[in-house]
Amino acid sequence: MNSKVKRYIDIILSAVGLIVLSPLFLVIAFLIKRDSEGPVFLKLKRISRGKEFDFYKFRSMIKDAHALNPQMRLIRNDRPNAGPFWKMRDDRRITRVGKFLRSHFLDELPSLLNVLKGDISLVGPRPHEPEEVVQYKEKYREVAAAKAGITSLPRLYNPHLTFEEEMNLENEYLKNQSLWLDFKILAKTLLKVLRDRPEG
């Protein structure tokens, strides 16, 4: 795949997206501030191309919720055969507005700025936490070294994929990546966002 063409597409689409969605950003920012105490935006450490960067998101949890992650991981992991990944359903740290944002993937809209900066692409393996990547980078070196993306092939599947299933899909994307595949993943992601509803 032509990486320069992909980069040009990333720049154009992310810039247009940030401009077109700017009114929505203001509405979301207002709702977040009205709903709970804390900042509107978060900067979370993630890995792309084997390097750490600040991943931008709308805050969807209570203030300083991510500082509790190490303790929460010890309590429960609702992801099947999770490997290094962790997920907790019905996480009480998620705010009312945050639950809505997450159900429609709106909490990740600020990561369009990461695309514009070149940290990640629109499509690529999901940007995982440094602590997770350390645990799988030897077995899945290609995934750990790849440029991450806002959306990915695993996102189109069941949200409860096992660790191995997700990694196999990431490898499948890397082996077959093309501009056409990227466009298909983007289109299907948009349809999924419009179609899906919260899990209850």
15-60 confidence digits (pLDDT tens): 999 999 999 999 999 999 999 999 999 999 999 999 999 999 999 9
DSSP assignment of 69-109: HHHHHHH---STT-TT----TT-TTB-HHHHHHHHTTGGGG
Q: How far is CA 80 from CA 18, 34, 89, 198, in A?
A: 35, 35, 12, 19
- pTM score: 0.84
Q: How far is CA 180 from CA 6, 184, 187, in A?
A: 11, 6, 11
- pLDDT band at residue 68 under the 50/70/90 scheme: low
Angle (nearest 5°) at CA 150 between 132 and 118: 95
